[in-house]
Structure 1
Amino acid sequence: MNINSKIISLPYIEIVTKWINRLKITDRLTNSYKYKLLFYGSCNDGFIINKLHDICNNQSHTITFIKIKDSDEIFGGYNPIKWKFDNSFGITKDSFIFSFKNNNFILSRVMDERCAINNSPYYGLSFGNGDLCLYQTLRELRIHCKKTNCEKQIRENNSKYIVKEFEVFQIMQD
C-alpha cells in the first residue's frame, strides 16, 4: 500500500483496508490498493465546502481522514458509493465510520443501509444521519458524532469538534 497522508500512518491504513474487505484485524491482507488523494484541507487554508463538493461529487470508493484540533484523535469514514450532494440519502451496507485515539480504535458499520450516506448540500461529508458529519461554520470546519444509523458511537459524547485538517482519498485496486 502506498499513501501520501499528512494525517494517518501506514499501520492504521492497513486496519482500514482490512475493514473495507470485511477482514478481522488478525487476518492477512490479500488485496492491494492505491490511495489517490482527491482533497486536502487544513485550518490554515480555510475550508470551502463547495470546493469539496465539486471535487468529490460523483466519486466513489472514498475514505476520509479527519484530524481534530489540539488532539491526537482521528475520525473517518468509508463510502463505497458515489457522493451526490443532492439532498438524498445514499444506500449501501458497506459504509462505515471509525475513530483512532491512543492506539485504540472503534469501527462502526452502518445498520440502516437506506441512510448510510447523507448527501446534504449543506454538509461537507456526512455518514449516516449525523453519525459522523463534517460541516462548516463562519470561522472553522467542525464535526459532530451522534449514534443514529451506525452500530456504535465513535466518540464518548455528542460534542462538536474543531477540525485541524482532513483528507479524502479514492481507493482503487492495484
Structure 2
Amino acid sequence: MSQMDTILFQHFSNDFAQLLESEYNYDVVIKLDEQSFKLHSLIYLHWYNFIKFPLKDIDSSTIFDLLISFHELDFEELVIYIQLYLINDKALWLRFKFFKVYYTCFLYDDFEALQTFYIDIFAEYPSLIFDANEFNLVDESDLVTLLKRDDLQLEESKIWDKMIQWGKENTQDLPFNITQWTNENFLALKTTLNNCISLIQYFQMFGKDLVTKVKPYKQILDPNLWDDITTKIMAPNESVSSIILPARKIFFNFINHSSIINEEHFAEISSWIDRNSSTYDIRCIPYEFKLLLRGSKDGFEFESFDTLCADIPGTVIVMKVNKMNELLGGYNPLVWSSDSDECRIKNADIAIGYDSSANNYGPYFSNSFLMWGNKKWYYNTYENDHEKLLRDEEEDGNGFFVDEIEVFQVLKNQMKYKTLSN
C-alpha cells in the first residue's frame, strides 16, 4: 500500500467511525440478549444471519471471533458488552482456552476487561499458565507482571522452578545436564531472566528448597544475594544488605494429595458435584478429598479397588489415559456395591454399578464406561447413556489403558468452608 493509499484509508476509517458513532438515520436495531444497539443497514448487512440469535445460543469460540470482528468495525459498545458477557457467563471457557484468547486480547487496547480478567485469574490460578504446554511462549513482560503479584497463589519454590523452566526454554544452546554448563551458559540464562530474578522471594523459601533448587543456579544471582541467603539460614536474626521481599498473601493452602490433577480440578469437581453453574474458588472448596487408592502404589486390578474402595460412600475416580494428555473419571454419591442397580449419565437405572463376582471387572458408569482389567478400561461409544460423547471410538477401539488411577472419598468440610465464608 502506497503512502497516499494509507492516507486515504485512514480518512475513510475516520469517516466510517463517525458513521458508527452516530445514531442519525439508523435503520437497524441489534438485540443481543437484553441489550439493544442502533446501527445502519450497510454495516449490519453482513452480520444479520449471524447475530440475530441470543449469545447463549452461540458457541464460545464464535462469540470470541465476533468480538474481534466488532473491534475491527469499531463497535465500542458491543466490544465492551461481549467482553463482559464472556467474563460473566463463559469464565470457565476463558480459563481453559486461555492461550487462544490471552494473546489475542493483549493485542487490542480496548480489550481491557479481558486483560484484567487474565491478570487476576493467573494470580489466583497460576497452574493455568505455569502448567500449560505453551508456557515457554509467554512474553517476558507478562511473566514479570505475574511474578510481581504479592497474591500469586503458589509456594515460592515452585515459582522459582517455573521461572527457571521458562528461562532455560528461552535461552539457546544450554546443555541438558547443568553439570556441563560453562560460565557463558549461566551468563546467558542470567541475561534471559534479568528482569525476573529479583522478583523471587528467596528469604521466604525453606532451607531445603534453597539448597536443592536455588544453589545449583547461584551463578545467576547477584554477587551478594547467595551469601545473604545462606546467612539468613544460619543466623535468621542477622541483618543483610539484600532486599527482603514480604511473603506473598496465600489465601488458602489446599492440600492436594493427587499426582495427576491440581487444585483447580478439585474445585471444578466440587462445583460439578453441587451442580453449580460456576466453578468454586480454590479458597472456598467445600470438600476434602481423601485418597483411598493410587494405582501405581496399590495396584490397578479390581481386587485392589474392591479392598480399598468398595462400600465407601461418595467417591471420585480419576484416571490419566496412557500416552495422551487426557483425564477421565466419574463421581459416585452412593457406595460401590455389587447389588447396586464429566458429563452426567442420563439413564438413572444403570447409572452406576460394581461387579465383584467372577466377571472380573470393577466399577462402571452406565454400561459403557467400566474397569476391565489391569490398567485397562472399556468404553462403548454405541451406548447413549451420557449427555455427550466421552471419547472417540477411533482413538482406542473401545478400550484404553491408563498411566495412573486415583480414587478419593469426598467429605464435606463444614468448618473450613464456614471459616472462609466469614
TM-score of the superposed pair, with normalisation by structure 2:
0.34
Name the structure 2 match of 1:159.
398
Gaps of 5+ in 2: 1-253, 414-422
Q: CA offset at residue 142 of structure 1?
A: 1.1
Match of 2:377 among 143, 148, 155: 143
Q: CA offset at residue 64 of structure 1?
A: 0.5
Equivalent residue runs for 1:60-71 within 5 Å = 60-71=313-324
Contact preservation (8 Å) 1:53, 1:85: no
Name the structure 1 match of 2:364.
126
Residue deviations 1:121-169, cap 9 Å, x none? 2322211112x21220xxx421122343221111122631111110000
Q: Does 1:82 align with 2:332?
A: no
Bigger relative contact order, structure 1 or 2, given CA contacts below 8 A and separation 6+? 1
Q: Distance in 1 between matches of 2:377 and 2:260?
A: 16
Contact preservation (8 Å) 1:62, 1:169: yes
Contact preservation (8 Å) 1:39, 1:52: yes
Name the structure 1 match of 2:150.
none
**One-letter amino acid matched to 2:375:** L
Q: Distance in 2 between matches of 1:82 and 1:45?
A: 20
Q: Distance in 1 between matches of 2:351 and 2:307?
A: 21
Name the structure 1 match of 2:278.
25
Contact preservation (8 Å) 1:141, 1:163: yes
SS at match of 1:129: helix
Q: Distance in 2 between matches of 1:32 and 1:46?
A: 30
Contact preservation (8 Å) 2:350, 2:367: yes
Name the structure 2 match of 1:169.
408
Contact preservation (8 Å) 2:321, 2:327: yes
SS at match of 1:11: helix
Q: Distance in 2 between matches of 1:26 and 1:82?
A: 26
**One-letter amino acid matched to 1:67:** K
Name the structure 2 match of 1:73.
326
Name the structure 2 match of 1:34.
288
SS at match of 2:367: coil
SS at match of 1:23: coil
Contact preservation (8 Å) 2:376, 2:401: yes
SS at match of 1:109: coil
More strand by share: 1
Name the structure 1 match of 2:12.
none
Contact preservation (8 Å) 1:37, 1:167: yes
**One-letter amino acid matched to 2:325:** D
Gaps of 5+ in 1: 90-97, 99-107
Q: CA offset at residue 50 of structure 1?
A: 1.1
Q: Distance in 2 between matches of 1:20 and 1:45?
A: 26
Name the structure 1 match of 2:256.
3
TM-score of the superposed pair, with normalisation by structure 1:
0.77
Aligned CA RMSD, in angstroms, stands at: 2.1
